[in-house]
């Protein structure tokens, strides 16, 4: 929280400005969708210069992820898994995914974010933001063909796995070891990434 810092220096507005920008971004992304939202529009809503938005948050993609309040940047944690190329990518990506989601504190925060994405407003974020900002670049970095079909297929299995293992807690899925989850789901995901599809 910025409460403690606010009284201290000569720019009492600064921490609040970041919060105002984030609130404006969340509102814009949710109502206009990711593609039709510009940094310029968010800056105008927040009453600041677009340069300040870039200064604080980087690119529009970065700002979007900041607005989602993810505890980790999925693009960064997935990088090592992607670096190895398409062969075995599903197994490596699942390993990264589980190392993050199976960590109890992280899991609480991720489930909260995921519930937010499932909200009526949030669905638009998933549809218009999360897939293009996170999964799109992953597909391209992997160098697979037809990433625009394959990555949503990957998402369709991961969303269901997240729902049952973490959000709803359906047994035995909730208690499976990470190794078993990888053994079960890696073949599915690898086929979606590189297998024959119609």
Binding site for a second copy (CB under 8 A): 118, 123, 126-127, 131, 148-149, 152-153, 155-161, 163-165, 167-173, 179-180, 183-184, 187-188, 191-192, 197-198
Asked if 192 contacts 153 with a C-beta cutoff of 8 angstroms, the reply is: yes
The residue with tokens 């504190």 is 105
Q: State the nearest-atom distance from the C-beta of 180 to a second copy, in Å.
A: 5
**Closest C-alpha among 128, 126, 70, 127 to residue 100:** 70
Which residue number, 56 or 114, has a Cβ lying nearer to a second copy? 114
Q: How far is the CB of 161 from a second copy (least distance, A)?
A: 5
Cα 117 from Cα 82, distance rounded (Å): 25
Q: Closer to a second copy by CB, 21 or 68: give it.
A: 68
Nearer to a second copy, 11 or 115 (CB): 115
Nearer to a second copy among residue 39 and residue 125 (C-beta): 125
- The DSSP line for 183-197 is HHHHHHHHHHHHS--
Which residue, 38 or 177, has its beta carbon nearer to a second copy? Answer: 177
Kindly state the smallest distance separating residue 86's Cβ from a second copy, in Å. Answer: 18
CA distance 185 to 187: 6
Cβ at position 118, least distance to a second copy in Å: 6
Q: Which helix (H) or strand (E) holds 7?
A: none
Q: At its nearest, how many Å lie between a second copy and the CB of residue 189?
A: 10
CB 48 within 8 A of CB 41: no
């Amino acid at each position: 929280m910025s409460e403690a810092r606010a009284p201290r220096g000569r720019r009492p507005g600064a921490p609040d400005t970041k919060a105002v920008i984030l609130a404006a971004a969340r509102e814009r992304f949710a109502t206009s969708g990711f593609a039709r939202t510009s940094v310029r529009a968010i800056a105008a809503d927040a009453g600041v210069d677009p340069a300040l938005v870039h200064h604080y948050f980087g690119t529009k993609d970065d700002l979007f992820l900041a607005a989602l309040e993810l505890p980790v940047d999925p693009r960064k944690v997935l990088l090592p898994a992607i670096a190895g190329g398409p062969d075995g990518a599903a197994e490596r990506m699942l390993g990264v995914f589980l190392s993050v989601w199976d960590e109890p504190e992280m899991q609480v925060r991720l489930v909260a974010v995921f519930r937010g994405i499932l909200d009526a407003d949030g669905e638009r974020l998933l549809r218009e933001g999360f897939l293009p900002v996170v999964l799109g670049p992953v597909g391209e970095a992997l160098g697979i063909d037809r990433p625009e079909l394959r990555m949503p297929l990957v998402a369709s299995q991961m969303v269901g796995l997240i729902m049952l293992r973490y959000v709803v807690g359906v047994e035995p899925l909730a208690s499976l070891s990470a190794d078993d989850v990888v053994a079960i789901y890696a073949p599915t995901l690898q086929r979606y990434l590189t297998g024959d599809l119609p």
